[in-house]
Amino acid sequence: EDTGEYSCDTGDQESRAALNVKALPVLFQKQLKDEEAEEGAAVKFQCELTKDNAAVEWRKGTMELFPCAKYEIKLSGRTAELMIHNVEPEDA
């Protein structure tokens, strides 16, 4: 968001310069861990990122997951969480 043109103006003269900021990639600081649970339990997956509030997608295989009664998705600072409620064998 700091990318753009900047200027300094004295009233009689003006100097301009452009700033281009290359965004660093979002990396995983802490990876997801394998979980095991009994049917009916709740399971939480959690990972830590290198940037605050980075855009993340949660997936099971190729299917993107969205917040609903089954899936609770949170992003707080650098921590991304997926809570799966009432797990069933097909959630494995």
The tokens for 88 are: 């069933």
Under CATH, what is the fold of the domain 28-84? Answer: Immunoglobulin-like (2.60.40)
For the chain, the three-class secondary structure string (H helix, E strand, C coil) is: CCCEEEEEECCCCEEEEEECCCCCCCCEEECCCCCCCCCCCCEEEEEEECCCCCCCCEEECCEEECCCCCEEEEEECCEEEEEECCCCHHHC
Average pLDDT estimate for 71-86: 97
pLDDT digits (tens, 9 = 90+) for 12-65: 999 999 999 998 999 999 999 999 999 999 999 999 999 998 999 999 999 999
The residue ranges of every structural domain in the chain are: 28-84
Is the whole-model pTM more than 0.85? no
